[in-house]
Amino acid sequence: MKDNRRSFLKKLGLTTGAAALSPSILAETNTNNQEFLNRSEDYSADQSIRLALIGAGIMGTEDTNTALRHANVSLVAVCDLYDGRLASAKQKWGDHLFTTKDHKEILKRADVDAVIIGTPDSWHKQISIDALNAGKHVYCEKPMVHSVKEGAEVIEAWEKSGKVMVVGSQGISSLGNEKAKELLAAGVIGDLVYAEGFWARHSPEGAWQYNVPADGNEKTVDWKRYISNTKARDWDPLRFFRWRNYLDYGTGMSGDLFVHLFSSLHFITNSKGPNKVSSMGGLRYWKDGREVPDVLLGMFDYPDSPEHAGFNLSLRCNFVDGTSGTTYLRIVGTKGSMDVKWEEVVVKLNNNAESDDPFMKEQAKLRSASGEEERAKILPPRETSYAAERTWKGAHYDHFGNWFKAIRTGGTVVEDPIFGFRAAAPALLCNDSYFQDKFIKWDPINMKLI
């Protein structure tokens, strides 16, 4: 068993400023410790990769900027439905770019090896399938699909294609998540019993009140193409530029933010997902015509499985938070807990041992000899933190690095469509539970509704 655990930790490829703390070492100290995380991953760049971006909004642009930080990666084409973004793409990345409003023109090009899909969620399934069928590698933003019924189609297309597809929940490639996975496998916090996640925002941009360009109109936007796979409507600039607020195109707080927490949790625990989903919430503050809540609470049952004992998960998302900007995933075990962020892990262990202070020990002996009742104690937890070195290039950079490496070597990625769907499904079912006002049962192994 020890050899298997040592082999597992070695395969993670994660290094710290000191040796990883084992449960016994952590149990022997009452002091607060800090260790540093770094990565020595080598993203080989012998083979050039030519990218096309489909969907050049906020996240698509960030994805592309990050991808181009990697060696021997170039951008050759951009697709978007708004003229302003196509013009901006040429300003940012060069006049050489081929630009179009039809993603199929991108996929016909022989000089495109791989595509980044940064479109609204309603287009993720179809463009992913079209790209895979065209022989392109795919990086698709989360959630992988717009509804649970779409998952099987994407998985089937990926399996037939032989191409590398990764879903864009970049926290999976973070030092924090990898360290948490290592610590949980080593038994540092004992057996998993509960987990909770939290995401808070308050700014207009954080709550999806994005800027609507002055020239955004039916002449500069291909509105008919945008709504061609959903309900026909008259031109509405808010539904195009603030699409996350509307169910025809987005997936609300759960599909946009809960999915990150599911991805991290499933990576750390090796879980396939929950078998029962429930949620409630409301529209408490941003009453701007949106169709999705700005406060959402989700509760999930994870059954006993070969990977872990049964546990419960609670997730909260809040766009009305005066503190703003807060996010974490907490994993609780029988010996302690871990607060997990992409760049940091804080381990807190139960502190039920007697004090090592000689004075305190002597006082205890005197009380015992005098017959005085010993006063109950509340002891602070033993705490160890792991923080990423400043030289680390970030989870987003590494997520693309893992994708590029898999393309060049014929390898695999952790967040393939099966993993991506298992993270997306409970998030999307959270929406269904909210709007249908009922518990929903899910088969996480076979990825089907019950």
Q: Quote the pLDDT of residue 39.
A: 87
Read off the pLDDT of each residue in 112-134 and give the average, rounded to a whole number: 98
Strands lying side by side in the sheet with 114-117: 98-100, 73-79, 49-54, 114-117, 137-141, 165-168
Q: Quote the pLDDT of residue 268.
A: 98
Which amino acid is it at 269? T
Instruction: Measure the N-to-C terminal CA separation of the chain; round to a whole number of Å.
Output: 37
Residues 6+ apart with CB under 8 A from 408: 44, 45, 46, 47, 49
Tell me: pLDDT of 355 over 60. no
CA neighbor of 282 nearest in space, from 66, 175, 434: 434
Q: Quote the pLDDT of residue 103.
A: 98
Q: Quote the pLDDT of residue 195.
A: 98
> What span, in angstroms and rounded, lies between the C-alpha atoms of 29 and 34?
13
Read off the pLDDT of each residue in 85-101 and give the average, rounded to a whole number: 98
Cis before 204 (ω within 30): no
Q: Quote the pLDDT of residue 357.
A: 61
Express each pLDDT in 59-86 by its tens digit: 999 999 999 999 999 999 999 999 999 9
Tell me: pLDDT of 19 over 80. no
CA neighbor of 420 nearest in space, from 145, 225, 150: 145
Express each pLDDT in 229-246 by its tens digit: 999 999 999 999 999 999
Neighbours of 243 (CB within 10 A): 19
**Structure tokens belonging to residue 270:** 């090796």
Pick 15 or 55 by higher pLDDT.
Answer: 55
* Cα dihedral sign, 446-447-448-450: positive
In this prediction, what percent of the chain has a pLDDT beyond 70? Answer: 87
Read off the pLDDT of each residue in 15-44 and give the average, rounded to a whole number: 60
